[in-house]
Homo-oligomer: A and B are copies of this chain.
Amino acid sequence: MARKKRLLNDVANERPATQIPIDRVGVKGVRLPVRVLDRDRGHQDTIATVDMLVDLPAQFRGTHMSRFVEILYGYRDNVNYRTMAYILKEMVSRFDGARAHITISFPYFIDKAAPASGEKSFLEVRARFIGDLVDKYKFSLGVTIPVANLCPCSKDIADAGAHNQRGDVYVELESRHIVWIEEVVAWAEEAASAPLFALLKREDEKAVTELAYGRPRFVEDVVRNVAEKLEGDKRVRSYRVECTNYESIHQHDAYAAIARDKKN
């Protein structure tokens, strides 16, 4: 094999016709099973979609794309804050670059109990770990949490009822110490009109309907409520929070966002 490799010319190492440095080059959409930490159950097996990118100096024509996948596979049984740093260091070292980036996105299931009956089911949130190595290592956690929001304006002006709908809360945060996905989900669910459940018996549906009606929230309210939590949490160094409502009275969506870097 070693001999065979020598015989194969390596076009990627040639000098390119146009010598411009490339900011980011790599693979996107690599899919593989991974194991991540679960606050309550120790670990959770899930399926990740991965982007891995490095910079490429002006004098090299191409990148050896297979190396990304090789590095990634070495850590798939244990994807966390720490191993993300190892992956990034290997990327910088094997690609001889100055910068490395990785995003690992995955569905993550939260155990929920219905509010009245206590029946158990899963809530799926979409999580992502975002790692960057540029001189030093930076890790961010992103979580998208589905919620229900009931419109305060509609409730206020209507003689009865109020339009409500599914919404998504997205929280991305950089932290000094571990912040669990479960904590972010709790913040989002408290900030919105009501949480979602896969399984609701009739008494639960009554409880959720009344909870939402008693807690009307604009997208603006939701992002402010989450931001207040993030401002008050000393582990969080910078954050972004977004809320999108899939409006039940419109075809389009309502959206609000707050971003802040507490380090500045």
- The residues of A with any CB-CB pair to B shorter than 8 Å are 1, 4-5, 8-12, 16-18, 20-33, 45-47, 51, 53, 56, 61-63, 65-66, 69-70, 73, 107, 109, 116-117, 119-124, 146, 148, 150-166, 194, 196-203, 205-206, 208-210, 212-214, 218-221, 223-225, 227-228, 231, 244, 246-259
- Other than A12-B153, A124-B251, give 4 A-B pairs with Cβ distance below 8 A: A25-B220, A33-B45, A163-B212, A200-B249
Identify whether the interface residues of A are mostly helix, strand, loop, or mixed: mixed
CB <8 Å contact, A157 and B56 = no
Residues of B within 8 A of A213 (CB): 158, 160-161
Residues of B within 8 A of A203 (CB): 1, 4-5, 8, 157
Residues of B within 8 A of A109 (CB): 32-33
CB <8 Å contact, B258 and A205 = no
CB <8 Å contact, B249 and A24 = no
Residues of B within 8 A of A148 (CB): 163, 248-249
CB <8 Å contact, A18 and B202 = no
Q: A161-B150, A256-B22 are in contact. Are A198 and B30 (CB under 8 A)?
A: yes
CB <8 Å contact, B248 and A202 = no
Q: A1-B117, A22-B257, A162-B161 are in contact. Are A107 and B208 (CB under 8 A)?
A: no
Residues of B within 8 A of A165 (CB): 164-166, 248
Bound-state CA distance A198–B27 (Å) is: 11
Bound-state CA distance A174–B135 (Å) is: 30
Q: A8-B206, A163-B164, A253-B28 are in contact. Are A199 and B66 (CB under 8 A)?
A: yes
Give the distance to chain B from A191, nearest Cβ to Cβ, in Å.
10
A47 touches which of B46, B119, B225 (Cβ 8 Å):
B46
Can you spell out 6 A-B residue pairs with CB atoms less than 8 angstroms apart? A28-B253, A29-B253, A32-B124, A73-B199, A150-B161, A161-B213
CB <8 Å contact, B249 and A157 = no
Most buried by B among A56, A123, A220: A220
CB <8 Å contact, A20 and B228 = yes
